[in-house]
Structure 1
Amino acid sequence: MMNLPKVFLAAALLTANLLMTCLNSASASDWYPLRVQVWDQPFVRESTRKEVDYIPLQKAAKKWKICVSFPHVKDSFWLAVDYGVAEESERLGIEMELFEAGGFNNLDIQIQQIRDCVANKADGVVIGAISTDGLNPLVAELKKQNIPVIDLVNGISSPDITAKSSYSHKDMGYMVGDFIARAQKAAGKSGPVNVAWLPGPKGAGWVDYSNEGFEVAVKENPDINVLTVKYGDTGKRVQRKLLKEVLAEGLALDYIAGTAVTAEVAISMLRKKKLDEKVKLVTQYVNPGVYAGIKRGKIAAAVSLSSVIQGRIAIDQIVRILEGKQYYKHVGVKLNVVHSGNLRTFDRASTLAPNGFRTVYSVN
């Protein structure tokens, strides 16, 4: 009788371990099958698209070594992409090395980091590009070495990339402008709606394309009056500086639209200026601060880019390519606008890294 509690304890521990194993297994696979968009003409931005169910490989055939390069990990967007990349690398059983260049001004650093990683016998490369055109000579070099390159999220203009894991940035920018127009109409307001637009670092492909989509929405909705446009890195220091410039101009703003970091920084700045009840915030993507801001009613809306999933897809693509298996050359998640009205149905795990997640630089 004295040993009975120990038996129960052992059984309880075994049950808990089995349950945890099942939960871990479920969390590794519950992202698929997933409805995605596939470009009929890969790498052609204006191409028609079709929807398919994306199902990744179960395991890699061998322990491939993959280099992953990001512009930086200064904000939670790239942290979420890193989470997706790391989790999928772990699930498939491959090696992954992550390098980050420290900011969108550091193209030379990104190029050198990729070259150094490839020199260490990498099988393939996944690139979140700093520049649309600046990596083209490097991509051509890698093609000559028979090293596949996945263009992840940001956009590389080279025809030598092997595949692209990215949504439509034009759609992203368009959705921001379209939401502002729809929100004004829903509120029964007529006349001009004044907007400050802070899309991100000038010259980055995703910013140029997002800006293009935003401009289309503005043309379709002449009531949208863009009073100022400010470009800059997505770090908080730069965004705070840009917002100070905007607010110093004394503009009669109704909206500030831009990056997630823009909105995060703007919340406290608007409150201090007693403008938080007047100026609404809309962002091009969701991060934890934006998610919390929408929940608290401090941010009007954000475009959901499913950043975690896009990173997962890139890893699956490159393994498929290395193993000579069928793959989609251009795959993007479906975008949607998140706001207080649909926040309860928002799949947080598709877009945000778990609370407490730290950058993973290596998966072995």
Structure 2
Amino acid sequence: MGTATVRHICRSAAAAAGLAMAISAGHAEDRPGTWRLEAWQPPFDYSHPSTAIDYQPVANAAHHWKICASYPHLKDSYWVSVNYGMVEQAKAAGVGLTVVEAGGYPNLDKQIEQIKACSTNADALIVGTVSYNGLTPTIQEIARRIPVIAAVNDIDSTGITAKAAVSWEEMGRSIGSYLANLHPPGSKPVKIAWFPGPKGAGWVPFIEAGFQQGLKNSSAKIAAVKWGDTGMEIQLLLVEDVLATQPDIDYIVGSAPTADAAVSLLRAQGKEQRIKILADYFTHGTFREIFRDKVLAAPTDSPPLQGRIAIDQAIRAIEGTLRYRHIGPQIKVVNKTNVLSLDLDNTLAPAWFKPTFEVK
């Protein structure tokens, strides 16, 4: 695929996501007083079942605390939605927020340097990590001074004060089970091209394990696996390679950018009626593509709500009022039957929101 073609498809996918954001432009203006969440006890351990709780966020912080938040990237609307939740919650609670982003999952050294600098004058650090354990020595050092909150991505719990996240294994299992239900044992076998994400990223081994588990006891089999960063151009190249080398696949399953890339490529190659697409997380692009029957389903873990939770946990950790050390939204699989009934303000950033790096 030529560079100009890749750029054209990337622009088309961005425009499609923009249309989905326009659909969500009118979401809720009044915040509910409580959030319905899942809590894990002991914390940071998904081997035990979670408990549903009604969670009351801090209305106003006791002081104008300074919080630093570090993201893997802001290359897709998933992390933009996390950013939206953090920014809105910081404003609502009356705290300052400084955001840094590493530019992608390969950039561990960059994230280390960013969080060292950003946390110097902060009262708490929130980390969406690029690596499961690559940040551990740095976090241990920072945790001697200030609370460290893990957000979204799985991470080694050493030095972590609290965590705002869901089980990525359950995210993978939910979409694997959805596909398995479409192809029960004894039905006609189908072939899957599976795009887990970048090796080494904190969430990828868990979503991989969950997806594999969800597919058990079905006639669906993985015929190809492609690892790589979740940037759109990389995913376009990976999907194109699979379509060239495995033309008989029946499903493409992977990240939200994988689904975006697959929609564009299948349409360009005239294969959109034969090959089906599922995503293992939910963004503006998958919202639009599910609505238009281009993607079958994707689980949402409510990225804006995770951002809000992380800010609230940081405030509580600073002020000594932290009750739940590990909480997250409830996972919901979205398909054509329920896509228009979503709580959009807790699921996607609105159309007007742009990535924001500082709240004074």
- After TM superposition, the score normalised by the length of structure 2 is 0.90
Counterpart-to-counterpart distance in 1, 2:87 and 2:323: 20
**1:223 Cα deviation after fit:** 1.0
Q: CA deviation at 1:274?
A: 1.6
Mapped to 1, the partners of 2:59 and 2:153 lie a distance apart of 27
Amino acid at match of 2:214: A
Cα separation, 2, equivalents of 1:144 and 1:200: 33
The answer on whether the counterparts of 2:85 and 2:307 sit within 8 Å (CA) in structure 1 is yes
Q: Given that residues 86 and 363 in structure 1 are in contact (C-alpha distance below 8 angstroms), is that contact kept between their aligned partners in structure 2?
A: yes
1:39 corresponds in structure 2 to: 40
Separation in 1 of the partners of 2:356 and 2:217?
Answer: 43
Tell me if 1:321 matches 2:322. Answer: no
In structure 1, the residue matched to 2:152 is 153
5+ residue gaps, structure 1, are: 1-23
Secondary structure at the counterpart of residue 247 of structure 1 = helix
Paired residue for 2:299? 303
Code of the aligned partner of 1:126: I
2:104, 2:71 → 1: CA distance? 9
SS at match of 2:183: helix
Q: Which residue of 1 aligns with 2:214?
A: 217
Aligned with residue 195 of structure 1, among 189, 192, 196: 192
- Identity score, percent: 40
The residue number in structure 2 matching 1:207 is: 204
Alpha-carbon distance in 2 for matches of 1:208, 1:171 = 12
Pairs within 5 Å for 1:6-21: none
Q: 2-side partners of 1:274 and 1:101: how far apart?
A: 37
**2:285 matched to which residue of 1?**
289
In the aligned structure 1, how far is the partner of 2:131 from the partner of 2:335?
Answer: 31
The question of 1:105 aligning with 2:102 is answered no
Q: Corresponding residue for 1:131?
A: 131
Distance 1:338 1:350 in 2: 14
Output one character per residue of 1:256-303: Cα deviation in whole Å (capped at 9) or x when no partner: 010011111111201122210011111111111110101111111111
Shift of 1:189: 8.7
SS in 1 for 2:267: helix
* Cα distance in 2 between the residues matched to 1:230 and 1:264: 16
Q: For residue 169 of structure 2, what is the aligned residue in structure 1? A: 170
Deviation of residue 221 (structure 1)? Answer: 2.2
Distance 2:230 2:101 in 1: 14
1:250 counterpart = 2:249 = no
Correspondences of 1:40-55 after superposition (within 5 Å): 40-55=41-56
**Structure 2 match to 1:15:** none
Aligned partner of 2:68 in structure 1 is: 67
Shift of 1:159: 2.3
The Cα offsets for residues 8-27 of structure 1, whole Å up to 9 and x where unpaired, read as: xxxxxxxxxxxxxxxx9x73
| Aligned residue type for 1:29 | R
Contact 1:177–1:217 under 8 Å retained in 2: yes
Q: Is the 8 A contact 1:139 1:158 kept in 2?
A: no
Moved more, 248-257 or 169-178: 248-257
Secondary structure of the residue aligned to 1:29 is: coil
* In structure 2, C-alpha distance between the alignment counterparts of 1:190 and 1:275, rounded to whole Å: 23
From 263, 269, 273, the equivalent of 2:265 is: 269
Q: For 1:331-362, what per-residue CA distance to the aligned partner results, in whole angstroms no more than 9, with x for missing partners?
A: 01110110001112122221110013210100
Using CA pairs below 8 Å that are at least 6 residues apart, which structure has the higher relative contact order? 2
Equivalent pair of 1:28/1:87 in contact (CA under 8 Å): no
Letter in 1 for 2:142: L
- Larger Cα-atom Rg: 1
Render the CA deviation track for 1:303-327: whole Å, top value 9, x for unaligned.
1110000110000001011011133
Which consecutive residues of structure 2, in runs of 5 or more, have no partner in the other structure? 1-25
Give the TM-score taking structure 1 as reference length.
0.89
Letter in 1 for 2:228: G
